[in-house]
Amino acid sequence: MDRFRDKIIPVTTLLAGLVVLWYVFAVIMNAPVQRDMDRRAGEDPRFSEFIGKTLAQAKPTLPAPHQVATNFFENTFTRKITSNRSLVYHAWVTLSSTLLGFAFGTVLGILIAVGIVHFIALDRSLMPWIIASQTIPILAIAPMVVVVFAAIGVTGLLPKALISTYLSFFPVAVGMVKGLRSPEILYLDLMHTYNASASQTFWKLRVPASVPYLFASMKVAVAASLVGAIVAELPTGAVAGIGAKLLAGAYYSQTIDIWSALVAGSVVAVLLVTLVGVAGRIVERSMGGRPA
């Protein structure tokens, strides 16, 4: 029961505290608008009525948790998933470009890492740029990529997936370089005494050693990939996707919609990261790794 005492109780307590805090802030932040509305309607509600009203506005400054939950539930489970009011539909649009970009990015990252490990010239000329590019706000080019691709007639999935690719290949490349270099001299010497060729050393020693690094960096990459897909949906006035939903909500001040789109994005993020984590554990176990 250690896990219960050490982890679950503190986390639940803290989350419950956050929800209470959220309600308090919702009342405080919605109160001025509500007072204004009541004055105009000539009403003078009692205190408890007033609180109830602040938590049930149509376009609140800060929607109460139950409003967001209701909206999220309605738009997720009660609508047809092909309808463009369904969050499942929007999440699917974002998810598909995330996954495509993530797949491209992972493959590209692995290829670059293999090149860097094998060619010293590539290591010394490319590696500094990979590290330097981490310091650059790459997301800033997202709108340009989307618009420029639209100008040559490429729209839809591909431009968004490219931005996700760009964001997700860095963590994978850096992690894989580390992973492919992780075997110690001792093991490399052992391969040497076996008279192993470079490709045998690569497949039988370096690749298995790099798997934990690969999955750790893929977790980071998949989260970055989702952020890339969402931001890529912002500029074009995109019609579908979680980013488009955020933007539409911002235009029409549909705060509850924004919050439920955020919740949808978070759910997708948690699902993706968990999936990668589970895949990593399965692969490690099937390779004979024991849980530490």
Partner 1 sequence: MSALKISWQAALALVFCVIAAFTLPLAGAEGSNPFSLGTTFTIFALVGLAALISAMRVTDALAAVILFVGAHGAAWLLLAGIAGNEGAARAPFFLLIAAAWLLAWRCVTVLSALRPKDRAVSTFLRLLIPTVFGAWILILWEAITRGAGIPFVLLPPPSSIGVRLVNSVPVLWADVNQTIFHSVIVGYIIGCGAGFATAILADRVPFLRRGLLPIGNMVSALPIIGVAPILVMWFGFDWHSKAAVVVIMTFFPMLVNTVAGLAASGHMERDLMRTYASGYWTTLLKLRLPAAAPFIFNALKINSTLALIGAIVAEFFGTPVVGMGFRISTEVGRMNIDMVWAEIAVAALAGSVFYGAIALVERAVTFWHPSVRGG
Does residue 26 interact with partner 1 by CB under 8 A? no
Quote the CA–CA distance of 17 and 129 in Å, as a whole number. Answer: 44
Could you tell me the smallest distance in angstroms from the CB atom of residue 139 to partner 1? 5
Q: Give me the helix-helix angle, 65-73 and 255-286, nearest 10°.
A: 70
Query: Max alpha carbon distance in the chain (Å)?
Result: 91
Using CB under 8 A, pick the residue from 42, 80, 129, 193 that binds partner 1: 129
261 backbone dihedrals φ, ψ, rounded to 5°: -65, -40
Does residue 100 interact with partner 1 by CB under 8 A? no
Which residue is it, tokens 């509500």? 34
Does residue 255 interact with partner 1 by CB under 8 A? yes
Could you tell me the smallest distance in angstroms from the CB atom of residue 46 to partner 1? 28
Using CB under 8 A, pick the residue from 58, 239, 270, 287 that binds partner 1: 270
Does residue 154 interact with partner 1 by CB under 8 A? no
Does residue 219 interact with partner 1 by CB under 8 A? yes
SS3 content of the chain, % helix, strand, coil (to 5): 80, 0, 20
Does residue 110 interact with partner 1 by CB under 8 A? no
∠ at Cα 229 (278, 139), nearest 5°? Answer: 115
Quote the CA–CA distance of 155 and 98 in Å, as a whole number. Answer: 15
Could you tell me the smallest distance in angstroms from the CB atom of residue 254 to partner 1? 10
Quote the CA–CA distance of 166 and 228 in Å, as a whole number. Answer: 8
Which residues of the shown chain bind partner 1 in the complex (CB under 8 A)?
Answer: 6-7, 10-11, 13-15, 29, 61, 120-121, 123-129, 132, 134-141, 143-144, 147-148, 151-152, 219, 223, 226-227, 230-231, 234-235, 242-243, 246-247, 249-250, 253, 255, 258-259, 261-262, 265-266, 269-270, 273
